Amino acid sequence: MYVPEEGGFAGDANTLVDGKEGFRNGSSSKGLLNSKNQGLKVSLQQLNYNQSKLALDRSINQTVELLYELVTENSVRPIFYPASAEDSNNVLLNSRKAHLALVRQNISINSKSLSKAKIDPEALKEDDDEDVPEFKILKLNLKVGNNSQNTDIVSSLDKQSIARLLEQRLNQQVKYLLNLKDRVDDTSSKVFVTGDLNAGKSTFCNALLRRKILPEDQQPCTSVFCEIIDAKKENASIEEVHAIRIGQEYNIRDETTYEIHPLKNLEDLVYECDTYSLLKVYVLDNRTFQESLLRNGVIDIKLIDAPGLNMDLYQTTQVFSRQEEIDLVVFVVNAENHFTLSAREFIAAAAAEKRYVFIVVNRFDNIRDKNKCINKIMEQVKDLSPDSHKDAKEFVHFVSSADVLDGSPGGGDGPDDGPDDNSDNNRNPRDPNFDQLEASLRKFVLEKRAISKLLPAKSYIINLLNDLKVLSTVNEKIYAQEKQDKLDELKGKVAPKYDEIMYKSAAISDSITKLVERTCSEVYDLAKNDILTTLSNFGDHQVVRYQGLQNLYEYAKQTQKVMIDTILSSVQNSESSAKTLTSQRVDEIIKFGQNTLGEEFLNDKVFNSDLMFTRRRDTIKKKLDDLIDFTDFFDPSFDSMMLWLGIPKDYISGTRQQLNYYNPATLLTSIPKNTMALKEQIPTQLTLHTLYSSTKLLTTGALIRKLYSLSHLLKPQVLKQIIGPILLGVGGFTVYYLINDIPNAFPRKQARKIKSQIYEMDYAHVNADRISKECRQVLNYPSRQVMNNFQTSIDKRNVEKERLEKEIKDAEISHNYFLGLLDKINNQREFVNEIDLENVNTVD
């Protein structure tokens, strides 16, 4: 403990003075032994300190790696951030309550995605209710400084915007950690004196220096940061001010980077916040190492007098942003005003890394009811900085800084009032509280250096890792849940729907194909039969009326035309029945689609059967040889002659059969050898008609035979005489028969001619094929329409399926990533927690 009256530390002389053991020199041998032991102890502590420093450096590097990893992950798959919708004024200290609210209440409210992921806040609560971590560092409340008008807008942002904010925050942390590393490695300590406007910060700094260096004023004055540095060590013992312009990078060896002013100019310079960003105030403190805080012989201490917190937003932001560069915060609060909102916010922000904040309750002399003031302040400190409250004797001080210099002879206005004078004279012996404060400050900065210098870094890393743990836990749970939800959705809804539509599509495609095939072959058969039947009916009868030999050519032409037209009309008939059938089938196909796809089926095309078969049917007329030949009019035949003779048609056909049966050749080859054989050859049961026919034929046969035998009897002379008239008779009969047969012969012959040409052309097949092909073409449209609709539906479901599958994959990747990250974070936390600083009280 530093005892100002003694000018040294009582009982714990473990502070080095410029590398040597300090301020008590025992002359006895016991003292020498003690001194050796002490040296050993200090060396050991130094070793521990260095090890802790290295460990912290390492963990900073690893935490930076984790942050980079998170930033990358966040850019690929936005990280869920449980934004707080609570009034951020109430969560200044990132209280447990605030965190619970954050995790339990807002998780499903604020993020659309979170609510989509259907996170059960209760599920999160169950986990470690007692040990619910808090967002101390990664809190995104977008509040700047003490602007109470600023509302928390994070809760109203979408996932992407929050992800971007988070990315910024993570990148800031990287920067912060790198600064922290510099601070850990830096052998000097920066003591940051801040507090509300007019709280007496400058007066307090002056009191520490025992000199009126910084201007004190009842009006707000310090608006530029003043860094008070030991001139002896850093500026060749020259007392002066280096005023650094805004935006300028300070380099003590480059005079162009600053302006040099005498100390007395500080009165004016501190107001020039529009010109200068920092005033480096080099002062000499010629007091003893034991008395001087700046020149303590142990480490370089820089005292920073900051502008009042509630001066303006810019200054306040500046003060807040200095956090990352400073090792120790001395917060000066006006005993008359207690903690303002800005003060609370500043201490809350500092708590992210600094477990201990020196709280100087200044202007205590003005307080009448001192106990009441103490109680009230302590109550507030308990909330604001619990660790400082726990060790209040060391960290909370009620003082009157103005009295320190006021009571000193000469007012402490120059460096020479230093060590050579009696330093006790520079203090007001009536303010032991200030002595206590000074001693605690020295002890904390110089002796408990591991705590004052390294602990903030450790606390910061731990807090950051805790935040990362919260973030990872929340994300791990969300992604696990999201993966499960999406899997359920895929398996329960999307995949079955997809399979169903695929199955239906295949089935419908099959049905449609079969229907089209059936229709086409039906149409083909119908058309072919129709044409062939029409053809087969030709030739049996006259198709136009015969109007005598004088109109023979017209008769022939018309017969020919009617025959061709009949064929064409049969083709037409086939086409129109094909149209009707196709139309029905188109409706059937469309119904397939409508019945299966319902509203999804888009029937934007109207089928118009009138448009079918509008092309020229065929070129039959052109192809047929329509030249009428003389022979076309004659077609002598047994049948026609019989018909001409007036024998009924059915009788003629029966007779022809008999003729075939009994024709001479047949008869000759089948003459029975004997009567028995003949008897066998005669049918046992003969119809009357047959018998009748046979009798007639036999009569005719006998007649011919008679004629034949008669011809043997006829002598050539006789023949010569009768042949002429016979031939004339037969010729006349034939001519007469032929002329009379013309009306039947022509259609018969023409029919044969047309038939043979048509068969040659394969006309029936060609037309039936053409008609069925057109039907197929027409049916292909609705078929394609239905199948396209199916494809659209399949595509839609496939897109949905693929989207889900991708989301599941992403959720799985994220889930695994956060599981892995949690592992790394936990390892890192363990590692940092194991850095034991409390037991390392050493100096560089």
Ligand X SMILES: Nc1nc2c(ncn2[C@@H]2O[C@H](COP(=O)(O)OP(=O)(O)OP(=O)(O)O)[C@@H](O)[C@H]2O)c(=O)[nH]1
* Interacting residues with ligand X (CB under 6 A): 197-203, 216-218, 220-222, 308, 362-363, 365-366, 400-402
Report in angstroms how near the CB of residue 367 gets to ligand X at its nearest.
10
Between 216 and 467, name the residue whose CB sits nearer to ligand X: 216
Q: Where are the beta strands (DSSP E) in 337-468?
A: 358-362, 396-398
Q: How far is the CB of 50 from ligand X (least distance, A)?
A: 37
Nearest-angstrom CA–CA distance, 701 and 775 = 59
Tokens of 440: 């605690």
Min CB(397)–ligand X separation in Å: 12
For the CB of residue 191, give the shortest distance to ligand X in the complex, in Å.
Answer: 15
- In the complex, least distance from residue 271 CB atom to ligand X, rounded to whole angstroms: 10
CB of 162 or CB of 214, closer to ligand X: 214
Residue 633 sits at the vertex; the CA angle it makes with 631 and 638, to the nearest 5 degrees, is 95
Q: What is the DSSP letter of 490?
A: I
SS3 percent helix, strand, coil of the chain, rounded to 5, is 65, 5, 30
Least Cα distance to 69 among 833, 826, 818, 813 occurs for 818
The residues, any chain, with a CB within 8 Å of residue 554's CB and separated by 6 or more, are 547
- In degrees, rounded to 5, the angle at the alpha carbon of residue 85 between the alpha carbons of residues 80 and 90 is 125
Residue closer to ligand X, measured from CB, 5 or 217: 217
Q: Indicate the helix (H) or strand (E) that contains 102.
A: none
Nearer Cβ to ligand X, position 368 or 545?
Answer: 368
Q: How far is the CB of 384 from ligand X (least distance, A)?
A: 19
Nearer to ligand X, 201 or 801 (CB): 201
Q: Which tokens sit at 50?
A: 């260095």
Closest CB to ligand X among 402 and 501?
402
Say if residue 36 is exposed, middle or buried (CB neighbours under 10 Å; 0-12, 13-18, 19+): exposed
How many whole angstroms from its chain centre is CA 444? 53
Nearer to ligand X, 198 or 466 (CB): 198
Radius of gyration, CA atoms only, the chain: 60
Q: Is the CB of 218 or the CB of 422 nearer to ligand X?
A: 218
* Tokens 């000199």 -> residue: 211
Closer of 334 and 814 to ligand X (Cβ): 334
The alpha carbon torsion through 520, 522, 523, 528 (nearest 10 deg) reads 120
* DSSP codes, 347-368: HHHHTTT-S--EEEEE-GGG-S
Q: How far is the CB of 263 from ligand X (least distance, A)?
A: 16
Non-local (6+) Cβ contacts of 769 within 8 A are 524
Q: How far is the CB of 93 from ligand X (least distance, A)?
A: 24
Report the residue number, 404 or 454, with the smaller CB distance to ligand X.
404
| Residue 221 vs 351, nearer CB to ligand X | 221
- The nearer residue to ligand X, 404 or 758, going by C-beta atoms, is 404
The minimum distance between CB 204 and ligand X, in angstroms, equals: 7
Report whether 331 contacts 346 (CB < 8 A): yes
The strand pair at 276-283 and 240-245 is best described as antiparallel
Report in angstroms how near the CB of residue 145 gets to ligand X at its nearest. Answer: 15
| CA–CA separation, 605 and 781 (whole Å) | 9
Q: Would you say 823 and 426 are in contact if contact means Cβ atoms under 8 Å apart?
A: no
Beta carbon of residue 202, minimum distance to ligand X (angstroms, whole number): 3
Q: Looking at beta carbons only, is 146 or 202 nearer to ligand X?
A: 202
The terminus-to-terminus CA distance of the chain in angstroms comes to 19
The owner of tokens 């009256």 is 5
Order the strands of the 225-230 sheet from edge to edge: 259-261, 240-245, 276-283, 225-230, 301-305, 189-195, 328-334, 358-362, 396-398
Nearer to ligand X, 337 or 537 (CB): 337
Residue burial 106-141, b: 16+ Cβ < 10 Å; e: rest: bbbebbebbeebebebeebeeeeeeebbbbbbbbbb
> Residue 192 Cβ, how far from ligand X at the closest point, in Å?
13
Shortest Å distance, C-beta 325 to ligand X: 19
Q: How is residue 452 written in tokens? A: 């004052």
CA distance 271 to 222: 6
Strand partners, 361: 333, 398
Q: In angstroms, give the least distance from the CB of 355 to ligand X.
A: 25
